[in-house]
Structure 1
Amino acid sequence: MAKESGLGWSTCSIDDSSGTARAIVNDFTNISFATPRGVQDVTGIDKSAYERLLLLADATFEGTGVFNDASNMSHDVFKTVSSTSVQRTVTLTVSGQTLANEMIFTDYPLTRAASGELTFTVPGQLANGSVPTWA
């Protein structure tokens, strides 16, 4: 593997509320995702440095994008966030490396800036207890 920039993402697909994956990578202007692990401090009083145990794995996603109400694009995917309680598969593929997680989305806020821009930011969190694993 070589060092790479974040340019030219292969895919970012997110299920709509019916479970159909939609490739909405073109609607996003910024994506962040994390796969943190919890830690437990188990340091004894006989130590001069921390001892820790790894705990549960997690995953988070946040996508910021431009409003697009074309069929099967971002608005079609996220407009049901407030009215449905469904898990959605989020699949990120970068240079042949894929991370797919079942996530819940908790909000779909739209922002109309003073300049006229209409954007959204959607936060997602791991939903099903499966450890996030790159393939």
Structure 2
Amino acid sequence: MKAIKNDITNFQFATPRAVQDVTGVDKSAMERLLLLADFSVTLNGVMNVATGASHDVFKTVPSTSVARTTTIAFTEVGGSTVHTLANEVLYTDYPITRGQDGALTWAVPGVLSDGTVPSWTSA
């Protein structure tokens, strides 16, 4: 396990559920069933040459099919409860951008890999 939180500048994640329309002809509004859960994430960060942590984690994305445990955790403001969302994720790309100022940044997308429903835990 390698912590890369120092290299991440921002991220977005989603925990959508698929739906199936099951509206009968006798209805005037939509009826739907909830189906499978999913998870996706995009981590955005900077190439930190001092530690190389994020590059070590993502440099094998193009050449391997390895699920990586990805954990999102936060503590409520003024509280002590830590909320955690951990998933097994397949990262699908490792694009690196060089800005005009010479900065190297990356935006790595990932998707749920193992069929486990994304669930928050609190401690």
Same fold (TM over 0.5): yes
SS at match of 1:22: coil
Q: Output the amino acid matched with 1:123.
A: P
Asked if structure 2 preserves the Cα contact closer than 8 Å seen for 1:22 and 1:72, the reply is no
SS in 1 for 2:24: coil
Q: Secondary structure at the match of 2:10?
A: strand
How many residues are treated as equivalent by the alignment?
A: 115
Work out the CA distance in 2 between the residues paired with 1:69 and 1:46: 63
Corresponding position: 1:97 with 2:69: no
- Structure 1 residue identity aligned to 2:99: A
* Deviation >3 Å, runs of 4+: 69-72
Q: Name the structure 2 match of 1:9.
A: none
**Aligned-partner Cα distance in 1 for 2:21–2:70:** 32
Q: Which runs of 5+ in 2 are unaligned?
A: 76-81
Specify whether residues 122 and 28 from structure 1 end up closer, same or farther in structure 2 by C-alpha distance, changes over 3 A only: same
Root-mean-square deviation over aligned CA pairs: 1.2
Matched, 1:134 2:120: yes
Does the 8 A contact of 1:70 with 1:76 survive in 2?
A: no
Residue 115 of structure 1 pairs with residue 101 of structure 2: yes
Whichever residue aligns with residue 84 of structure 1, its letter is T
Quick one: which amino acid aligns to residue 120 of structure 2? Answer: W
Q: Secondary structure at the match of 1:23?
A: coil
For residues 50 and 114 of structure 2, the distance between their equivalents in structure 1, rounded to whole angstroms, comes to: 30
Which residue in 1 is equivalent to 2:29?
Answer: 49
Partner of residue 83, structure 1: 63
2:17 alignment counterpart: 37
Cα offset, 1:22, TM superposition: 1.6
Is 1:69–1:76's contact at 8 Å kept on the other side of the alignment? no
Mapping of 1:21-32 within 5 angstroms?
21-32=1-12
Residue identity (%): 61
Normalising by the residue count of structure 2, what TM-score does the alignment of the two structures yield?
0.89
What is the DSSP-based 3-state SS (H/G/I as helix, E as strand, rest coil) of the residue aligned with 1:74? helix
